Amino acid sequence: MMYDFLKKVPLFATLTDDDLSRLCEMVEEVFVPAGEDLFEEGAPGDKAYVVQEGHVEILKASGGRQVLLAVRGPGDVIGEMSLIEEAPRNATVRARTDVKFLAISQEQLDQLLENSPSAAKALLHTVLSRMRATMGMVRQGEKMAQLGTMTAGIAHELNNPAAAVKRGSGQLLPELATFGEAAAALARIKMDAEHEARLLEVAEEARAAATRPPNIDALARSDLEGDIEFWLEDRGFDSPWDLAPTLVSMGHNEASLDALEQDFSAEQMPIILNWLVATYDVHNLVAEISQGASRISEIVKALKSYSYLDQAPVQTVDIHEGLDNTLLILKSKLKEGITVRREYSDDVPKIQAYGSELNQVWTNIIDNAADALTGRPDATIILRTKLDGSWVIVDIEDNGPGIPKEIQGRIFDAFFTTKPPGKGTGMGLDISYNIIVNKHGGDIRVYSQPGKTLFRVALPVDMGNTDREPPALETFPRPTDEQMRRILETSHTVAVVGISSLKDKPSHSVPEYLQQHGYRIIPVNPSCDEVLGEKAYPDLLSIPEPVDVVQIFRRSEVVPEIVEQAIQIGAKVVWMQEGIFHEAAAERAHQAGLEVVMDACMRATHKYLIDTPAARA
């Protein structure tokens, strides 16, 4: 019976009677009940199977779900791809009904293909047809997953500005009533033309301030609010704690209020200040609603331009304005105990870019930062800009828990997310990467450790016309020439970790140069007994005397352990030789009070700063 069944399977149809009879003796019968897996995707493959009775489903994971690729029945061969490629299973096989299989081992399949050219041809035909079908199904599944992700992303992007419009419009009605009452009280004051002109001038300042969020850090704002509150209390104002925050937002301080008090009487001042505060509040809400509506319009335009590929217009974009608009859209979220600091450089020019799409990038990164800072008492986001040659650099930094090292290499992958269901739509960083790198020809990089996550975006001032590669991501500040000169002049003992006894190696010639110029060299290398005439130690902890500088000639991955030892022995400086970087270790040393130099040759630096005629002069 098995012989007749296998004879009808194309893969075995051309085998001789003896070979087929021998195969029948060697195959193993396997039974799998309905609903159970024969094998799972990713499992090692050691056998191929022929379906003798029943039906199975071929399933492949795609976009976070399992896609049904095919249903196989009696006579179909499955699992042969893993044996041919010597690779893990590329799909899951699940019994749709109770199924009986004939299992063929790797050795048996190899013999079959060697002895039967027609069997090899039949197998090749099977593999190619299945590969085409699999790729088509997976591609369709990926497209549907991408469409779903994009739709969810757009909904997420629209949610913030729509919420801003809704919130602002809800608050506007009572504010308009307050403004009407304040305006009616103001109308009852008799003023001459000069005072009316002064009042209109102050009102225009309030309206202008309502459209520009003040660039004041939390501590300075708190101090200003306290000063103004005391100023109002001294003059008998009602509810000074309600007026003070808005007056600070308008740009007022004690001096400006004193000047205003010189222009109006004590009876007029409460009415005028209440009217100015009401004017600011109304215009501030109108500005928020306008910004939200504009953002919705921009997102709709961006969606339209996405649908029509690259037809979106390139605009002259003010990076600072885009960042400020994004902060306004996310205002309600950032109010939850998060301090935002702007460190904008004045020399950043306007650039050629797709403005609405850049705003989407800022929204994605800042929104993720806000999520990461939830519940932290000292939550801070820093927005930093600068001009570097033909590149504009935008840094977005937060002091959250950081991105785990094991996933940092995947955060720009499509569909990757760490957020639970119902919490946003994922990190959105694959979208941001495509906008920055593929559409603008820029660069986006991330550095993260607990307490500091930094996203750096590099954008060309003129798209497609840059004079060099984007600047490298250096999150730890490089010491100035003056700082390195002081280190070289005040240091005497240098422990050289990774020193070599081979004279042609920089790890020998550099400390040799330093020794010749008066530095006490302490070799640290467990493989050496003595280098440069000095006893070598296996590690820093074995050195019996104080050390000023720990110079590192080891691979970057072992730098953290060396830094910990440098901290333990009380070293003053960690100097990572040229080509050696480790931001986290540098930050750890800095926090422990050590000075840090990375990616710099100590010999070359000494020659440049100390051992030159100009330096000696």
Torsion of Cα atoms, 31 then 34 then 35 then 38, to 10°: 20
As to burial, measured by CB atoms within 10 angstroms (0-12 exposed, 13-18 middle, 19+ buried), residue 460 is buried
Out of 69-73, 319-323, 430-434, 492-496, least confident range: 430-434
Q: What's the predicted TM-score (pTM) here? A: 0.40
522 pLDDT above the threshold of 90:
yes
> In CATH, what number is assigned to the domain containing residue 17?
2.60.120.10
Separation between Cα atoms, residue 345 and residue 353, nearest integer Å = 19
Residue 40 and residue 107 in one domain:
yes
Separation between Cα atoms, residue 538 and residue 307, nearest integer Å = 63
Residue 252 and residue 366 in one domain:
no
Q: Is residue 159 part of a domain?
A: no
Separation between Cα atoms, residue 524 and residue 527, nearest integer Å = 9
Mean confidence (pLDDT) of the chain: 81
pLDDT confidence of residue 146: 43
pLDDT tier, 423 (very low <50, low <70, confident <90, very high otherwise): very low
Residue 323 and residue 452 in one domain:
yes
pLDDT confidence of residue 124: 62
Q: Specify whether the CB–CB gap between 292 and 165 falls below 8 A.
A: yes
The residue among 465 and 342 whose pLDDT is bigger is 342
Q: Is residue 467 part of a domain?
A: no
pLDDT confidence of residue 85: 66
CA atoms within 13 A on the CB side of 566: 33
Q: Is residue 145 part of a domain?
A: no
Distances (CA, A) of 271 to 199, 205, 489: 12, 17, 66
Residue 494 and residue 421 in one domain:
no
Decide: helix, strand or coil at residue 210: helix
Q: Is residue 136 part of a domain?
A: no
99 pLDDT above the threshold of 60:
yes
Q: Which residues contact 366 (CB under 8 A, 6 or more apart)?
A: 326, 327, 330, 334, 381, 396
Q: Specify whether the CB–CB gap between 351 and 461 falls below 8 A.
A: yes
pLDDT confidence of residue 243: 85
Residue 240 and residue 271 in one domain:
yes
Q: For 42-116, where are the alpha helices, taking DSSP H only?
A: 80-85, 106-115
Residue 12 and residue 80 in one domain:
yes
Number of structural domains (the chain) is 4
Residue ranges with strand state E in 63-165: 65-72, 77-78, 92-95, 99-105
Q: Over the stretch 130-158, which tens digit does the pLDDT of each residue have?
A: 666 555 554 455 445 445 544 655 676 67
Residue 412 and residue 507 in one domain:
no
507 pLDDT above the threshold of 50:
yes
The residue among 175 and 128 whose pLDDT is bigger is 175
Q: Which domain holds residue 15?
A: 2-115
pLDDT confidence of residue 306: 39
Q: Over the stretch 237-258, which tens digit does the pLDDT of each residue have?
A: 888 888 888 888 888 888 888 8
Of 604, 601, 609, 574, the closest CA to residue 588 belongs to 574
Out of 144-153, 206-215, 225-234, least confident range: 144-153
Residue 271 and residue 221 in one domain:
yes
